[in-house]
Structure 1
């Protein structure tokens, strides 16, 4: 699973030994840094129990150890609307 911007992840020691105390993490982006095969640099926010961002961080984790808690909302699909007909040109009203 490659995380996307907006995903909320449960990061545990399965992702990296630094997370003996698991955290919730909202992804901002996957950083484009050279890594070992199967590892990722993620930038995002550590979340508290209420889901509020408490700390911005970059973390180095194994992709296979990440658990998706909440997927990012899907972008809205734009509906195609018929083109509007131009309104007839009005001449200014004469006053006085």
Structure 2
């Protein structure tokens, strides 16, 4: 399973020995760099248990070792609410 931008995957030892402690990872980019057969570089965010980004990382993993993670994408057409009381103009001034 080659992930796409926005996918959440579970990285475990089957993806790479560096993940002896499993990690949820949201993909922001799949590099097209030439690597060993079956391996790929991913850029993305390490997620906490609530699905919030904790740290941006680049990881080198085996494609066959990737497991689907909990879905964290918003459904198509859905927009996150903005904080109340602050307008776009006020954001630009700050």
Under TM normalisation by the shorter chain, which class is it? 0.7 to 0.9
Aligned-partner SS, 2:18: helix
- Kindly report which structure 2 residues correspond to 1:21-32, keeping only aligned pairs within 5 A, or say none: 21-32=21-32
Query: Which residue does the alignment assign to 2:15?
Result: 15
Query: What do residues 68-95 of structure 1 show as CA deviations (whole Å, max 9, x unaligned)?
Result: 123856766xxxxxxxxxxxxxxxxxxx
- Structure 2 gaps of 5+ residues are 78-94
Total equivalences in the alignment: 76
The answer as to 2:30 corresponding to 1:41 is: no
The answer as to 2:29 corresponding to 1:54 is: no
Structure 2 length as normaliser, TM-score? 0.74
Q: 1:23 to 1:75 in 2, by over 3 A?
A: same
Structure 1 length as normaliser, TM-score? 0.72
- Structure 1 gaps of 5+ residues are 77-96
8 Å Cα contact 2:51/2:72 also seen in 1 = no
8 Å Cα contact 2:43/2:57 also seen in 1 = yes
Query: Which residue does the alignment assign to 2:5?
Result: 5
Compute the RMSD of aligned alpha carbons: 1.7
Q: Which has the larger radius of gyration?
A: 1
Separation (CA, whole Å) in 1 of partners of 2:36 and 2:73: 26
